[in-house]
């Protein structure tokens, strides 16, 4: 209170202008056990040690987004490490984008494909939600919204889909979305976002003086086709994982959505056998998709290469589970975030734990 009052009085006296409208006051930063940091307990953490080990952005992002406004934060270095991995993911994704957009001088959205429209729609939903929660200083919810969009939608899905159709429109979308991501993350990660932003072909003198992303109705598309395709891909991958299904399998269906997007689905799943009928001796598993049936036929065999993929998937799930458990262990996030988002995280965590158990059983068998 004294610091805030002094700043207010001095500014009014010397300039005649109120220095700020709102003042956000955070809670205490406690140790992992919830105790107040003190010299007598010797449980303090030197921020410079954390900066040396993980970088200033990782520390700043963690302190800003790990707890709800006004609540105390329990400092945990494991979470610092997870934040560093997140920043590293952003850096690697940005490098990939920069390597593929060198010849783009201006945006062109003339020929948007299904995945371009999907990511632009997701981006605008994120901008709307992030802006709403930033205005309320709910930084922990902002962090969760951005994490989900950046890691899941942009990195895990759109960048992979972009590889199938790297034309000027897709390159423009990559730049556009990455630029918006950097601007929304900048208040929490000022250094790495500035570094990447200055590498972009279209940028201001600094990201600090650039305009904040704004919801754009022209780039909002209500087509849910790709969401359905992603749902199918996840189900197929899960079935293959649970049943040790190799590359030799068929997808049999009369679904118009699947057949109309056969080329894209084939590329994502690396499966050339998407047909309307099958008469062989393979085992059959049915998948329900929008009240339609997609049947997966397989022979039950698994190669050494596919066993290796199981091990990689195991490691991916372990890391993902750790990230979700970290998020859900944050009482501030659970209490402040929208209930549907928290429930989705809990459901995803439960599903990933089941998948991990299945993989472990298959590997040990």
User: 263-269, long-range: CB within 8 Å, 24+ apart, which pairs?
Assistant: 264/114, 264/115, 264/161, 264/164, 264/229, 265/229, 265/232, 265/233, 267/164, 268/160, 268/161, 268/229, 268/233, 269/233, 269/236, 269/237
Taking 90 as the threshold, does the pLDDT of residue 92 lie above it? yes
Q: Is the pLDDT of residue 295 over 70?
A: yes
Q: At what angle do helices 190-197 and 56-65 cross, to 10 degrees?
A: 120
**260 contacts: CB under 8 Å, gap ≥ 6:** none
pLDDT at 302 over 70: no
The pLDDT score that the predictor gives to residue 104 is 73
At 301 the pLDDT is: 60
pLDDT at site 339: 81
Percentage, residues of the chain above pLDDT 70: 98
Whether the predicted pLDDT of 286 surpasses 80:
yes
pLDDT at residue 110, rounded to an integer: 84
Average pLDDT over residues 276-303: 85
The alpha carbon of 144 is separated from its chain's Cα centroid by a whole number of angstroms, namely: 9
Residues of the chain with pLDDT > 90: what percent? 60
Give the mean pLDDT of 6-13. Answer: 93
pTM of the model: 0.77
| pLDDT surpassing 80 at residue 4 | yes
325-336 pLDDT tens trace: 988 998 888 888
Choose between 362 and 360: higher pLDDT: 360
Least confident residue range of 69-73, 99-103, 329-333: 99-103
Please write the tens of the pLDDT for every residue from 181-236.
999 999 999 999 999 999 988 777 899 999 999 999 999 998 899 999 999 999 99
Distance CA 63, CA 75 (A): 8
């Amino acid at each position: 209170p004294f610091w805030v009052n002094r700043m207010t009085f001095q500014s009014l006296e010397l300039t005649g202008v109120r220095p700020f409208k709102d003042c956000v006051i955070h809670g205490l930063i406690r140790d992992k056990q919830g105790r107040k940091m003190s010299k007598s307990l010797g449980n303090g953490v030197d921020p410079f040690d954390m900066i040396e080990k993980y970088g200033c952005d990782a520390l700043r992002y963690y302190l800003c987004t790990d707890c709800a406004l006004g609540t105390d934060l329990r400092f945990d270095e494991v979470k610092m490490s997870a934040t560093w991995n997140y920043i590293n993911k952003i850096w690697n994704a940005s490098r990939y984008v920069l390597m593929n957009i060198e010849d783009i001088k201006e945006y062109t959205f003339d020929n948007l494909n299904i995945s371009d429209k999907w990511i632009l729609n997701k981006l605008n939903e994120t901008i709307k939600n992030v802006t709403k929660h930033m205005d309320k200083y709910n930084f922990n919810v902002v962090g969760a919204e951005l994490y989900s969009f950046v890691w899941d939608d942009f990195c895990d899905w759109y960048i992979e889909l972009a590889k199938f159709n790297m034309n000027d429109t897709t390159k423009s979308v990559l730049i556009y979305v990455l630029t918006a991501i950097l601007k929304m993350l900048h208040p929490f990660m000022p250094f790495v976002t500035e570094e990447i932003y200055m590498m972009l072909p279209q940028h201001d003198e600094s990201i600090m003086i650039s305009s904040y992303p704004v919801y754009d109705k022209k780039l909002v598309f209500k087509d849910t086709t790709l969401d359905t395709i992603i749902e199918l891909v996840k189900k197929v991958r899960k079935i293959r994982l649970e049943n040790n299904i190799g590359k030799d399998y068929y997808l049999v269906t009369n679904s118009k959505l699947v057949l109309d997007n056969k080329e894209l689905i084939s590329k994502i799943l690396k499966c050339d056998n998407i047909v309307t009928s099958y008469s062989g001796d393979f085992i059959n598993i049915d998948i329900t998709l929008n009240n339609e049936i997609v049947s997966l036929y397989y022979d039950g065999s698994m190669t050494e290469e596919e066993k290796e993929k199981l091990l990689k998937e195991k490691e991916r799930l372990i890391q993902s589970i750790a990230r979700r458990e970290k998020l859900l262990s944050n009482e501030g996030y659970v209490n402040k975030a929208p209930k549907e988002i928290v429930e989705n995280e809990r459901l995803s965590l439960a599903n990933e734990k089941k998948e991990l158990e299945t993989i472990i059983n298959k590997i040990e068998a």
